[in-house]
Amino acid sequence: MMRSKGLRFIVGVLGALLLAGALSATAQTAAVPDILPLAGKQIYALKKCGDCHDKGAKEFTPIKAAPDSAKLSAHLEALKSVNVLRQDSSPRRQKKTMAEEVVAMTAYLKSREKTDAAAANMVTAGFVMVRESCRNCHLINGVGKGDMAPELKGVGAKHDKKWLVEHFVDPQAFVKDSMMPKFGALPKAELEAMADYLAALK
């Protein structure tokens, strides 16, 4: 009697654990955040916005509402903020990059809770994919240009992480005459983070 009760208890606990695991797995795939707010989170960190805006900051000023881009641009100008997404040589390109950074940080501040819940490698992936302008060729999450290259929706069901990393390094080894640039010069951690992100797009 005692034994079967104990067994039933164990089976019950295992069942609950399996169910919880399955639920969190589906929640995870459903919740792959867009690359733009992820990039925004990294840019916010690199620009040290938290020095004034995160709890515990010495001169704490809370960010109450998501900013509009024009206001945020003016704020960055007043702070003499320098670009962190890319180092451009021409002032025209620097201005363009700064505008991209503002758009990404605005997207981050608009979905802060959800984006803060994302794993660190997802944040890296978003930052790298925005920096490398993957959306100039690919539709990712329905956004971007989709006429030159395959849409990346569902790419994780097609390719595994190993394939994805090898393809980044040398796309032409997979598709002769592929227009995709080689990304083999990027740090391995960045390639792996992008592969993790794409592998999660099932």
- Within positions 120 to 179, which residues make up the interface with ligand HEC, using CB under 6 A? 129, 132-134, 136-138, 148-150, 152, 155, 158, 164, 167, 171, 174-175, 178-179
Applying CB under 6 A, among 32, 35, 72, 130 the residue interacting with ligand HEC is 72
Q: How far apart are CA 152 and CA 134, in angstroms?
A: 10
Applying CB under 6 A, the span of 29-37, 42-50, 92-100, 114-122 interacting with ligand HEC comes to 42-50
Of the candidates 45, 23, 41, the one whose C-alpha atom is nearest the C-alpha of residue 33 is 41
Would you state the structure tokens that stand for residue 25, as one six-digit string? 């797995």
Contact status: 18 vs ligand HEC (CB under 6 A):
no
Contact between 153 and 201 under an 8 Å Cβ cutoff? The reply is yes
Contact status: 51 vs ligand HEC (CB under 6 A):
yes
How many residues are present in the chain? 202
Applying CB under 6 A, among 122, 180, 199, 200 the residue interacting with ligand HEC is 180
Q: How far apart are CA 87 and CA 100, in angstroms?
A: 13
Q: How far apart are CA 129 and CA 107, in angstroms?
A: 15
Which positions lie near ligand HEC, rule CB under 6 A? 44, 47-49, 51-53, 61, 63-65, 67, 72, 75-76, 79, 81, 105, 129, 132-134, 136-138, 148-150, 152, 155, 158, 164, 167, 171, 174-175, 178-181, 183, 194, 198
